[in-house]
Amino acid sequence: MPANEMNNSPYAIRNYQPKDFDKYVLLNIKAEKLEPTGRCISPQVIAERLGQPNYSPEQDLFVAEVIGSIVGYMDVAPELSIGRVILDCWVHPQHRRKGLATRLLNYSMHRAKELGARVAHVNIMEDNVVAKRVLSRLDFSLVRRFLELRLDIADVRWSDINQAALECRYLQCGEEGKLAQLQNRGFAGHWGYNPNTVEEITYRINRSNCSPEDVVLTCDGDKVV
């Protein structure tokens, strides 16, 4: 527990426990309904997220609780090979302006220090005014902007796609090491890139909403390039 944690609040901040799963799922569903992000939310997807390699929900996930209800959370995703953690926080609108985000952040910073991280990053949508205001108040500053691109499939020039596809194929089971090597070599040195491990890639492509056929490889003959 952080040294400056308050004890006179009706809200308790604590580590996630397995018995919290159903309530945590409901909170995520509510969050996506009230403030859509486009993320897939289901009990299975959340269970898979909590079970990912190099992550411990009992240590890296904090919840805000009042009268037996979970009304907020702070997720701490370690990326220690580049010295950072990525934070994901949400508090139910009915329970905002009560200092919960600050208290959750205190717990997450305590955990980040335990892990040896040097910096904490948060990703938010550009139009998320509430998050901008809260993060600014907590001394976060803007460091990068990212574009989210969209392609209308109806406008695709299939002749070009079909020609390019002659040199491409889907990832096959057992090729996770090749993919990790290609990604880590291609993105090495790029800002914010955390090198992937074979274990992490294998776990991701075997989740319920993923498949090896979601990954397309370009080949030069029999060699993946």
> Does 146 fall in a domain?
no
- 169 in the same domain as 84: no
- 29 in the same domain as 132: yes
> Does 166 fall in a domain?
yes
> Does 75 fall in a domain?
yes
- 53 in the same domain as 85: yes
Q: Of 91, 113, 137, at which residue does a domain stop? A: 137
- 207 in the same domain as 179: yes
202 CA to centre of own chain: 17
> Does 6 fall in a domain?
no
3-class DSSP state of 57: helix
Question: Do 74 and 47 form a contact (C-beta atoms < 8 A)?
Answer: no
Strand extents, DSSP E, the chain: 12-15, 61-66, 69-79, 84-91, 119-122, 168-170, 216-220, 223-224
190 CA to centre of own chain: 19
- What is the C-alpha to C-alpha distance for residues 51 and 62, in angstroms, rounded to an integer? 16
Q: Of 107, 137, 167, at which residue does a domain stop? A: 137
Per residue in 175-184, pLDDT tens? 999 999 999 9
- 88 in the same domain as 36: yes
**What's the order of all strands across the beta sheet hosting 119-122?**
12-15, 61-66, 69-79, 84-91, 119-122
- 203 in the same domain as 106: no
- 107 in the same domain as 60: yes
- 43 in the same domain as 81: yes
- 175 in the same domain as 76: no
- 111 in the same domain as 39: yes
Instruction: Find the CATH number of the domain harbouring 103.
Output: 3.40.630.30
> Does 145 fall in a domain?
no
- 122 in the same domain as 98: yes
What separation in angstroms does the CA of 171 have from each of 4, 56, 185, 217, 219? 50, 29, 17, 6, 11
Q: Of 137, 169, 196, at which residue does a domain stop? A: 137
Per-residue pLDDT, 194? 92
Q: CB burial class (10 A; 0-12, 13-18, 19+) of residue 111?
A: buried
Per-residue pLDDT, 219? 86
* Side-chain half-sphere CA neighbours of 200 within 13 A: 13
Q: What is the DSSP letter of 82?
A: G
- What is the C-alpha to C-alpha distance for residues 59 and 76, in angstroms, rounded to an integer? 9
Q: How many CB atoms lie within 10 A of CB 225?
A: 9
Our count of domains for the chain comes to 2
Helix axis angle, 21-34 relative to 43-50, nearest 10°? 110
Per-residue pLDDT, 38? 84
Per-residue pLDDT, 80? 95
- What is the C-alpha to C-alpha distance for residues 103 and 138, in angstroms, rounded to an integer? 11
> Does 179 fall in a domain?
yes
> Does 58 fall in a domain?
yes
Per-residue pLDDT, 165? 64
> Does 4 fall in a domain?
no
Q: How many CB atoms lie within 10 A of CB 219?
A: 12
- 133 in the same domain as 23: yes
Q: What is the DSSP letter of 161?
A: H
State the residue range of the domain holding 198.
153-224
Per-residue pLDDT of the chain (225 residues; tens, 9 = 90+): 665 555 688 999 999 999 999 999 999 999 999 988 888 899 999 999 999 999 999 999 999 999 999 999 999 999 999 999 999 999 999 999 999 999 999 999 999 999 999 999 999 888 888 888 888 888 899 999 988 888 888 887 777 666 666 688 899 989 999 999 999 999 988 888 999 999 999 999 999 989 999 999 888 877 887
- What is the C-alpha to C-alpha distance for residues 197 and 179, in angstroms, rounded to an integer? 10
